[in-house]
């Protein structure tokens, strides 16, 4: 769908119309104001970049603002997708910023009569349930994708042999989980409110359906809590492994430096070229000094091994 484009699907058997607007602009908002007389504050909310999830109840329609996590950008990070919905007796209007689920459902309803009947034959209230259910059902593959990323990170962290730093990858997944939780948390209360709203559009028999969505959101949030704890554990393990590797490197360098210290002192001492230095006047002084240096190295390495420092 193009930006600001207004598309319609009508189910003639019950005269239900679905108007789908991608990336609403001033022109589309004026169209809605002219044809449906919605409250100007609701129309202003449709143009706002970010609105909190909410439900506004009016005599002849409901206005909903729903947030859902989606993948965005080249790096496929988790971002917020806002969906605004107007629902009346014989119409449902969805306004969104290129939400992939809304676009997919619209195309399926447009191309397949059976799908259109499945979504629209039972009135606007049931159609609202189907749309919202699809929006949150799409969170499950996203949740599985994050879970898969965590499993791969866990395997890489515990199997790494060179102490490779996975912090950047861990923080990316951690950020996705935090964004996911921040988006999904308010939705549970918003969907639960639908049970108590205008029964003209949402008959009582739909209560059990919206309860099912609330349960689904709770399960998603609980899964996110578990994933958040797991990614924190992986981050701590990664830092511990890196710290252990760094300590080993520092230990080896320290041993090398300590061994070299007396050797450097002796070679510097004999570098003064004074004739009275011990063994300096002997023909095999080179071999004697080399033997002393070698003996010092052997003694120090043996001492370190005795102390179990290496």
Q: What is the pLDDT of residues 45-95, one digit of tens each?
A: 888 877 788 999 888 899 999 999 988 877 788 889 899 999 988 999 999
Within 8 A by CB and 6+ apart from 207, the residues are: 195
Q: Distance (Å, rounded) from C-alpha 101 to C-alpha 137?
A: 10
On whether both 136 and 185 belong to a single domain, the answer is yes
| pLDDT at position 67 | 92
| pLDDT at position 48 | 83
On whether both 220 and 149 belong to a single domain, the answer is yes
| pLDDT at position 276 | 65
What is the mean predicted confidence (pLDDT) over 93-104?
91
| pLDDT at position 260 | 83
On whether both 175 and 278 belong to a single domain, the answer is no
Q: Is there a contact between 128 and 28 (Cβ–Cβ < 8 Å)?
A: no
On whether both 144 and 267 belong to a single domain, the answer is no
On whether both 34 and 158 belong to a single domain, the answer is yes
Q: Work out the burial of residue 59: count CB atoms within 10 Å of its CB; fewer than 13 is exposed, 13-18 middle, 19 or more buried.
A: exposed
Q: Has this prediction a pTM greater than 0.75?
A: yes
Phi, psi (deg, nearest 5) at residue 309:
-85, -20
On whether both 99 and 9 belong to a single domain, the answer is yes
pLDDT for residue 1 is more than 60: no
Q: Using alpha carbons only, give the angle 124, 126, 131 rounded to the nearest 5 degrees.
A: 90
Q: Distance (Å, rounded) from C-alpha 53 to C-alpha 190?
A: 7
Domain final residue, candidates 243, 260, 291:
243
What DSSP line would sit under 62-85, residue for residue?
A: EEEEEEEEEEETTTTEEEEEEEEE
| pLDDT at position 16 | 92
| pLDDT at position 280 | 63
On whether both 124 and 265 belong to a single domain, the answer is no
Structural domain harbouring 232: 5-243
Domain final residue, candidates 190, 218, 243:
243
170 C-beta neighbours (distance < 10 Å), count:
24
On whether both 189 and 277 belong to a single domain, the answer is no
Average pLDDT of the residues of the chain: 85
| Dmax (CA) of the chain | 117
Residue 303: band (very low, low, confident or very high) from pLDDT cuts 50, 70, 90: confident
On whether both 56 and 106 belong to a single domain, the answer is yes
pLDDT for residue 274 is more than 70: no
How many structural domains does the chain have?
2
């Amino acid at each position: 769908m193009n930006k600001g484009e207004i598309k319609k699907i009508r189910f003639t058997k019950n005269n239900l119309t679905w108007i789908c607007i991608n990336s609403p602009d001033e022109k589309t908002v004026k169209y809605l104001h002219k044809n449906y007389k919605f409250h100007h504050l609701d129309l202003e909310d449709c143009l706002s970049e970010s609105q909190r999830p909410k439900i506004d109840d009016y005599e002849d329609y409901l206005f909903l603002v729903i947030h859902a996590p989606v993948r965005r950008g080249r790096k496929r990070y988790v971002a917020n997708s806002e969906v605004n919905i107007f629902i009346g007796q014989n119409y449902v209007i969805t306004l969104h910023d290129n939400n992939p689920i809304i676009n997919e459902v619209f195309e399926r309803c447009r191309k397949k009569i059976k799908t259109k009947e499945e979504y629209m034959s039972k009135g606007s209230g049931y159609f609202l349930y189907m749309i919202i259910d699809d929006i949150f059902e799409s969170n499950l593959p996203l949740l599985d994708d994050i879970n898969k990323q965590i499993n791969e990170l866990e395997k890489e962290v515990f199997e790494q042999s060179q102490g490779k730093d996975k912090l950047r990858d861990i923080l990316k997944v951690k950020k996705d989980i935090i964004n996911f939780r921040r988006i999904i948390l308010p939705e549970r209360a918003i969907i639960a409110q639908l049970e108590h709203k205008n029964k003209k559009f949402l008959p009582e028999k739909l209560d059990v359906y919206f309860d099912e969505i609330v349960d689904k959101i709770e399960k998603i949030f609980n899964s996110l809590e578990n994933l958040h704890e797991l990614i924190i554990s992986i981050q701590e393990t990664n830092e511990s492994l890196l710290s252990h590797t760094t300590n080993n490197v520092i230990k080896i360098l320290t041993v090398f430096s300590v061994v070299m210290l007396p050797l450097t002192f002796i070679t510097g001492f004999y570098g003064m070229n004074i004739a009275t230095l011990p063994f300096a006047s002997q023909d095999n002084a080179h071999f004697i000094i080399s033997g002393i240096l070698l003996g010092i190295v052997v003694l120090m390495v043996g001492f370190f091994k005795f102390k179990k420092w290496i």
